[in-house]
Amino acid sequence: PKMDVGQHLKLKSVEAVQRFTQHPPRYTEASLVRKLEELGIGRPSTYAPTISTIQKRGYVVKEDREGVKREYNVIKLENNEIKEEVKVENTGAEKKKLFPTDIGIVVTDFLVDHFKKILDYSFTAKVEEQFDEVAQGLIEWYKMIDNFYGPFHKNVEETLKIEKKSVGERVLGTDPKTGKPVIARIGRFGPMIQIGSAEDEEKPKFASLQKNQSIETITLEEALKLFDLPKVLGEYEGKEVSVNIGRFGPYVKFDKLFVSIPKEEDPMKLTLERAVELIEEKKKAEANKYIKTFPENKDVQVLNGRYGPYIKIGKKNIKIPKDIKPEELTLEQCLELAEKAPAKKKRSKK
């Protein structure tokens, strides 16, 4: 609209919206490569193996994460009247991003504390330059290695004296029942909670963290809840149904059956009804697994596998030819196919 100098404007409305600071975006594989290029670390031929290695070793995971609902305030002034409103937004959703694991965080902190020079971005870039100089004949390779290895070896010797158990530990507080310390740390099978210490007369208690929990953020209250398991949910078909957490995550135990609990479900809130559903799903999957068995030789089975039907004899798996119907196989045919099957090649040591 046309306006004049000095013209007074009529206030229609003013709105103040609450906003939150955002953390830097997490890396994707592509953005991590760009960062490596920017820092001068590695070469095009090493980017893919580097990113693959940190995932294989469990230092990072690539996954999608759902956002969480968060409230925010809106204050509006209109017609000389102030109105306040609380709205809800979805925040924190990530797709195919790289997330550090507890093991990755502990390893990184340890290396930064004890191998600061090597973990410095400029060190790697400088070494890359020295490799080029060696290739060009400007410096002798053994002099370069000698300059690095002497101080590095001394550093390693000093680091070996550090108490392993203290690395990555986080004391959460005290267990009100026993008065013993509650510690979050990395164990043999991953992140876990420990009540007590090895020096105590009574052995320490251990519980694995759930997939959505982290050593860095878990609270004392959340840690103590992990020791509520195993928990008996009730009975089904006259047998006990319980829930527990093991090396590979939370599961339901029913007789001799172990059923994994989906990662999006909280084992602490699992009901008997839901546990029975999981048990029946597992039973159905197990029933579909067996195509044929032989009472006269229980070691021989014809099974449905991930890549199609196959014969299992003890620990040996035998592929079934495409022209043979698995359900029509006899015991003799199974044994004959096993004899003709090529021997597995032994893996050569690298």
Structural domain count of the chain: 5
Tell me if 2 is assigned to some domain.
Answer: no
Overall size of the chain counted in residues = 350
pLDDT at 347: 57
CA–CA separation, 32 and 99 (whole Å): 12
* 77-81, 173-177, 284-288: least confident range: 284-288
Residue 109 lies in a domain: no
- Residue ending a domain, among 75, 102, 129, is 102
**Average pLDDT, stretch 271-297?**
89
The verdict on 267 and 250 lying in the same domain is yes
Query: Does 246 share its domain with 220?
Result: no
Predicted confidence (pLDDT) per residue in 24-53, tens digit? 999 999 999 999 999 888 888 999 999 999
Q: Minimum mean pLDDT among 156-165, 231-240, 259-268, 294-303: which range? A: 156-165
Would you say the C-alpha torsion 316, 320, 324, 326 has a positive or negative sign? positive
Does residue 186 fall inside a structural domain?
yes
Residues 239, 280 within the same domain: yes
- Asked whether the CA dihedral 206, 263, 266, 234 is positive or negative, the reply is negative
pTM > 0.75: no
Q: 270 lies in a domain?
A: yes
95 residue type, one letter = K
Domain match, 148 and 171 both = no
332 & 298 share domain: yes
Residues 171 and 135 in one domain: no
> Are residues 70 and 19 located together in one domain of the fold?
yes
d(CA 11, CA 78): 8
Task: Name which residue leads in pLDDT, 205 or 347.
Answer: 205
Residue 64 domain flag? yes
Pair (279, 321) in one structural domain: no
Domain boundary pick from 102, 126, 146: 102
Q: Are residues 130 and 91 located together in one domain of the fold? A: no
Tokens of 230: 């195993």
Q: Give the tens place of pLDDT for each residue, 116-160.
A: 888 888 888 888 888 889 999 999 999 999 988 988 999 999 888
CA distances from 121 to 39, 40, 291, 346 (A): 7, 8, 57, 40
Segment 1-17 mean pLDDT: 88
Q: Give me the mean pLDDT over the 235-259 stretch.
A: 89
C-beta atoms surrounding 207 within 10 Å: 18
Q: Does pLDDT of 248 surpass 80? A: no
Are 217 and 234 members of one domain?
no
Same domain flag for 34 and 80: yes
- The whole-number pLDDT of residue 289 equals 86
Beta-sheet strands, E only, within the chain: 13-17, 60-65, 68-78, 81-91, 94-100, 170-174, 181-187, 190-195, 205-208, 231-236, 239-246, 249-254, 257-260, 290-293, 300-305, 308-313, 316-319
Give the domain-ending residue among 174, 192, 227. 227
Q: 285 is in which domain, residue-wise? A: 229-289
Q: Is residue 110 part of a domain?
A: no
> Distance between CA atoms of 27 and 34, rounded to whole angstroms?
10
Do 244 and 201 fall within a single domain?
no
Does a structural domain hold residue 346? no
Q: Is residue 3 included in any domain, yes or no?
A: no
